[in-house]
């Protein structure tokens, strides 16, 4: 059996790496050709961004349209393999334009860095000693990243917490850092590392871990959208035909109520939100794992796990949708500048600050979520998904050229998106010709 233990794989050239992987996984020449297609990213760039690079994994980069946020128009780049995400988000964004679009805001980009101190005998005394030296500690941490200060960022505050654990009481310091337009992990990690020994000394213990927290509770983004029932109503193929606005609002509130009351549903509800947020993150070169962990942790922060969006009906009967979650993203660092596609995606997003990007992502999450709820409240998610596949189904059934749209439209209208029905429809079209 071939082994995955390969000595100094990182030092090997591209071709050699490919050869090793080819042997290991019994790849064919076609597989190798696929791996060698680097698209917009050449090997050298990819190799700088990751370890042991042998190829690039490609995702389609799509654009969510129609977004009007705080009066500004946005095209939102999304890299993801699920077509309904862009479709749902664009649909809701289109409807929202009639009521002024989305209103959004984002907190200042404050991240938390943690320092863990063990063996502290007297917590209150240690806390007092640390807080007594707060100014000096903040200054020292700031010295780690003078560039951040130049861009209006820097250390803002320090908090001392007591955490009871299975291995006894721990003193935990939170350093609050304005990371400006960065995601912030590098700056924060460097700062907590710089002051950890002094913190431990002041606390009379020893420091262990010092690292950023991805639960970015001080860096949240919020967005809101109001839709009249008339905007939400419409024709749905499949089980239902035309569903009136007040009825759709009612149904959406029903499905939302389950998310608010039940963790099983809340998890899927939030998955829908993150469908869009992650897709923007991937397109623009963000750390989507940090966003995911922060979002789900926030969904259970100080309460039972719940939905990241909220829906209600206002006095006029309109549906009001709101979202709030931590969104730690950057315009500098990470893959943002190194990935050629991310650079272009960022240009498309047209954001001037990390806060603006966070607002755009919050709106994308809200729009995608509402688009999903509108579908699942009325006819289940399968129909909308299948409609997007109708053209593929038509092609599989043998349709060519103009026949593709004709067949796809008819099977979508009928809500019977199957290859066998597409074949029948195609035969009918051919006979008519």
- Please identify every residue annotated as catalytic: 82, 271, 287, 385
- Binding map of ligand MEV across residues 275-304, x = CB under 6 A, - = no contact: x-----------------------------
CA distance 311 to 321: 5
Residue 222 C-beta: closest distance to ligand MEV, Å: 20
Size of the site for ligand MEV (CB under 6 A): 9
- 165-171 long-range Cβ contacts below 8 angstroms, 24+ apart: 167/118, 168/118, 169/120, 169/123, 170/116, 170/117, 170/118, 170/120, 171/116, 171/117, 171/120, 171/123, 171/126, 171/127, 171/203, 171/205
Q: Which stretch binds ligand MEV (CB under 6 A): 70-78, 170-178, 214-222, 265-273?
A: 265-273
Q: Enumerate residues 6+ apart whose C-beta is below 8 A from 139.
A: none
Residue 309 C-beta: closest distance to ligand MEV, Å: 10
- Dihedral, 197, 293, 323, 90 alpha carbons, nearest 10: 130
Q: Which stretch binds ligand MEV (CB under 6 A): 143-151, 154-162, 264-272, 300-308?
A: 264-272
| Residue number of the CB atom closest to ligand MEV | 272
Q: Which is nearer to ligand MEV, 133 or 265 (CB)?
A: 265
Are the C-beta atoms of 97 and 91 separated by less than 8 Å? no
| Planar angle of CA 118, 294, 197, nearest 5 degrees | 25
Closest Cα to residue 103, out of 373, 425, 366?
Answer: 366
CA distance 407 to 399: 7
The verdict on 271 binding ligand MEV (CB under 6 A) reads: yes
Q: Which is nearer to ligand MEV, 161 or 382 (CB)?
A: 382
Q: Enumerate residues 6+ apart whose C-beta is below 8 A from 87.
A: 371, 384, 388
Contacts (CB under 6 A) with ligand MEV, residues 56-95? 82
Residue 375 C-beta: closest distance to ligand MEV, Å: 7
Contacts (CB under 6 A) with ligand MEV, residues 364-383? 372, 376, 381
Are the C-beta atoms of 88 and 375 separated by less than 8 Å? yes
The verdict on 272 binding ligand MEV (CB under 6 A) reads: yes
Are the C-beta atoms of 422 and 406 separated by less than 8 Å? no
Name which position in 98, 263, 268, 312 contacts ligand MEV (CB under 6 A): 268
- 151-160: b (≥16 Cβ within 10 Å) or e: eebbbeebeb
Contacts (CB under 6 A) with ligand MEV, residues 299-328? none
Name which position in 207, 219, 269, 296 contacts ligand MEV (CB under 6 A): 269
Q: Which is nearer to ligand MEV, 269 or 296 (CB)?
A: 269
Q: Which is nearer to ligand MEV, 178 or 309 (CB)?
A: 309
List, as one string, the DSSP characters of 254-282: HHHHHHHH-HHHHHHHHHHHHHHHHHHHH
Contacts (CB under 6 A) with ligand MEV, residues 139-168? none
The verdict on 261 binding ligand MEV (CB under 6 A) reads: no
**3-state SS assignment for residue 201:** helix
Torsion angles phi and psi, residue 330, rounded to 5: -135, 160
Residue 303 C-beta: closest distance to ligand MEV, Å: 20
Q: Which is nearer to ligand MEV, 91 or 269 (CB)?
A: 269
Residue 82 C-beta: closest distance to ligand MEV, Å: 6
Q: Which residues bind ligand MEV (CB under 6 A)?
A: 82, 268-269, 271-272, 275, 372, 376, 381
């Amino acid at each position: 059996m071939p082994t995955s233990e390969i000595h100094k794989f990182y030092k090997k050239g591209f071709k050699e790496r490919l050869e090793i992987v080819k042997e290991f996984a019994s790849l064919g020449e076609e597989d190798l050709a696929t791996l060698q297609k680097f698209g917009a990213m050449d090997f050298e760039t990819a190799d700088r961004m990751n370890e042991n690079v042998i190829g690039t994994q490609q995702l389609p980069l799509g654009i969510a349209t129609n977004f009007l946020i705080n009066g500004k128009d946005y095209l939102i780049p999304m890299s993801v393999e699920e077509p309904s995400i862009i479709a749902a988000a664009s649909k809701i964004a289109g409807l929202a334009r009639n009521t002024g679009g989305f209103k959004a805001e984002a907190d200042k980009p404050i991240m938390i860095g943690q320092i863990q101190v063990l063996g502290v005998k007297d917590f209150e005394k240690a806390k007092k000693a640390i807080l007594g030296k707060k100014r000096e500690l903040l200054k020292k941490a700031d010295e780690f990243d003078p560039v951040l200060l130049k861009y209006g960022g820097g250390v803002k505050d320090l908090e001392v917490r007591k955490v009871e654990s299975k291995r006894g009481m721990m003193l935990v310091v939170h350093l609050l850092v304005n990371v400006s337009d960065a995601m912030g992990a590098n700056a924060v990690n460097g700062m907590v590392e710089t002051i950890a020994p002094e913190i431990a000394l002041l606390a009379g213990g020893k420091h262990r871990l010092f690292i950023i927290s991805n639960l970015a509770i001080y860096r949240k983004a919020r967005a809101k959208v109001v839709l009249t029932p008339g905007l939400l109503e419409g024709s749905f193929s499949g089980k239902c035909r035309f569903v009136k606005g007040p009825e759709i609002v009612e149904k959406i509130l029903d499905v939302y109520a389950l998310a608010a009351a039940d963790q099983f549903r809340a998890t899927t509800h939030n998955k829908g939100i993150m469908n869009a947020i992650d897709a923007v993150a991937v397109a623009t070169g963000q750390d989507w794992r940090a966003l995911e962990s922060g979002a789900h942790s926030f969904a259970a922060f100080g309460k039972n796990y719940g939905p990241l969006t909220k829906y209600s009906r206002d006095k006029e009967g309109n549906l009001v949708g709101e979202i709030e979650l931590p969104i730690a993203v950057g315009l500098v660092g990470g893959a943002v500048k190194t990935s050629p596609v991310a650079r272009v995606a960022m240009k498309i997003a047209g954001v001037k600050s990390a806060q603006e990007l966070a607002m755009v992502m919050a709106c994308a999450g809200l729009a995608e979520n509402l688009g999903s709820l509108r579908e699942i409240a009325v006819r289940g998610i399968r129909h909308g998904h299948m409609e997007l596949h109708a053209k593929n189904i038509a092609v599989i059934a043998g349709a060519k050229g103009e026949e593709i749209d004709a067949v796809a439209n008819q099977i979508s209208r009928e809500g019977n998106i199957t290859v066998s029905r597409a074949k029948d429809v195609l035969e009918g079209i051919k006979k008519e010709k």
